[in-house]
Amino acid sequence: MDSILVTGGNALHGEIPIAGAKNACLTLMPATLLSEEPITLTNAPRLSDIKTMGALLESLGTEVTSMQDGKVLTMSSHSLDNLTADYDIVRKMRASILVLGPMLARAGQAVVSLPGGCAIGARPVDLHLKAMEALGAQIELRDGYVHAKAPKGLKGATIEFPFVSVGATENALLAATLAKGTTVLKQAAREPEIVDLAECLIAMGAQIDGHGTSTITIAGVDRLHGATHPVVTDRIELGTYMLAPAITGGEVECLGGKIELLAAFCEKLDEAGISIEQTQRGLKVKRTNADIKAINVTTEPFPGFPTDLQAQMMALLCTAKGTSVLEEKIFENRFMHAPELSRMGAQIEVNGGMATVTGVERLKGAPVMATDLRASVSLILAGLAAEGETLVNRVYHLDRGYERVEEKLGNCGAKIERITGQ
């Protein structure tokens, strides 16, 4: 099992290219199931999760071709040979549930394994299933699988989510494109990944209005055609690498970055004393003074502060001057990185969904364990600022969401290397 060894103390200078969004690409890939014609995605991230989704689609009969070192994916679902998404693949990644809506819409039936548990909370799929039922599907849970049928096709409906759910919005949006009549999604998610999915579906011939707002209207069409679509910039990778010069000092330009992708996050960095400049090529980030200022952060659905950047922000605030409070409102159990940061000398007190962080003058390197994707990169960020060596174990989590971390940070002067497991 691989580990990452970080030796702290180096300020970072240079530029980091930001990849296409993992969460967008994982949503865009199942859209191929809606059409007999090929779909090509450019600017795809090169990640293990993308390979897992490709394997799932291939198991359903999709032909998946990877080009340009994985940055271009072409998928053709001219025939759906199999309508069962098997547990052995689905268990590896919760985004696999997103094949449910497209298969129901096009084939009128689908059998999809329940994704199972998750390290950062229960994250149930009941909103996905209720959305499919609202569109006319018959749902039965049996032997750990969702058995869904719509023998006469899906029908448009008004679906009001009880709370904002990105995944349920995506599944309902995918399914509604081929439903008969008009579908209205209320209290829909507004994330850039939702907008990106809608734009791709529109390029395929879907009729969608209101994406990017809390009410999305979809007029169903009889068929969708092929398209080529660029994956939107990964705002979570962007925010992560913006924190690298913030925590170490120095100046880094994140290529492809835009403030509008992370407005709430950028406001908090500014409050902490970090300079952010929009350039023609991306975002230039540097620390404006010697001390990081303590701030308070509350995670919220977009356009609020992203839950997927909470762990990384905590790493920064471990060395801030004063006391910061982070409130997690999206997922339970999402402070599992706190004990690992404490091993490095951080002063963190967790009480339910609140974490109080009292800044220390300097973190100290230590062996630590990654508990999930975002926690893993937060420990790397902490290691960059720590005194001595930090060994981050179980970095298979990291490879699910960040491509070539050692190369990107190393090119800016970080002392970081991967130690390949036996």
Q: Is the Cα dihedral 88, 89, 90, 92 positive or negative?
A: positive
Angle (nearest 5°) at CA 76 between 43 and 57: 80
418 assigned binding-site residue: no
Strands (E), 81-203: 84-85, 109-113, 138-142, 145-149, 158-160, 182-186
Bridge partner list, 109 = 149
2 assigned binding-site residue: no
372 assigned binding-site residue: no
Identified catalytic residue from 25, 118, 200, 412: 118
User: What backbone phi and psi angles, to 5 degrees, belong to 319?
Assistant: -115, 15
46 assigned binding-site residue: no
234 assigned binding-site residue: no
22 assigned binding-site residue: yes
180 assigned binding-site residue: no
- Is position 25 annotated as part of the catalytic site? no
Cis status of the peptide bond prior to 303, with omega within 30 of 0: yes
Closest Cα partner for 208 from 200, 198, 196, 221? 198
The encoded tokens of residue 234 equal 């990964």
At 402 the three-state DSSP class reads coil
88 assigned binding-site residue: no
Cβ partners under 8 Å of residue 221, min gap 6: 177, 178, 205, 206, 207
351 assigned binding-site residue: no
In one letter, which amino acid is 400? R
88 CB burial (10 A radius; 0-12, 13-18, 19+) = exposed
* Residues 188, 329: Cα–Cα separation, whole Å: 17
Q: Say if residues 271 and 295 touch (Cβ distance below 8 Å).
A: yes
Please list the active-site residues.
Answer: 118
Residue numbering of the annotated binding site for UDP-N-acetyl-alpha-D-glucosamine:
94, 123-127, 308, 330
Residue numbering of the annotated binding site:
22-23, 94, 123-127, 308, 330
Residue numbering of the annotated binding site for phosphoenolpyruvate:
22-23
